[in-house]
Amino acid sequence: MVELMIVAALVMALMFGALVTTGESFQVAESGDQRIQVSISARRALDRLLKDCRYAAALSVAGDAASGWTITIDAVNSLDPDTLIYTWDPQTEVLRISDGVRSPDTVLEGLAAFDLSTLVEDHGAGPVIARIRCDWSVRQEQGQLLPLAGTTWIRVNS
């Protein structure tokens, strides 16, 4: 009987250790999953913005990194031409998209820094944006910043 109680106590101690270890492993995995999810959603948002700019019929950029950006895109190759308006506010760290009619939708939260540069060329009809570059720093839950960057040339559609 004493041997059985000793064995039961050892098994309980081992099971408790396994439970604690599993809980710690789960927290580590969950933390990694959150970082990956932030990285994937931020990369998709940046890719979508750059793709919208790449195929724009008209593109205008206003603002700066200190006060916020407004990127207005006239979409091309659409039966019902759309205007997309991306706005970023450094105080709220939120990137939003709107069509100018409905209320804006949130594209990405935690966008701590947004640097944007353009290359302007003159194609005879006046200056147009030929290239756009975005440098982002996305805030993760652990307080770290995820740097992302992307560049695209704007295709001239006639």
Which one is predicted more confidently, 15 or 89?
Answer: 89
Residue 32 has pLDDT above 60, yes or no: no
The answer to which of 24-33, 52-61, 121-130 has the lowest mean pLDDT is 24-33
DSSP assignment of 123-148? -SSSEEEEEEEEEEEEEPTTS-EEEE
* Separation CA 65–CA 55 (nearest Å): 24
Task: Tell me what percent of the chain is helix, strand and coil, each rounded to the nearest 5.
Answer: 35, 45, 25
State pLDDT tens for residues 34-90.
567 777 888 889 999 999 888 888 889 999 999 999 999 987 755 556 888 999 999
CA distances to 108, 111, 137 from 30, in Å: 21, 22, 22
Q: Region 9-25: what's the mean pLDDT?
A: 68
pTM here?
0.74
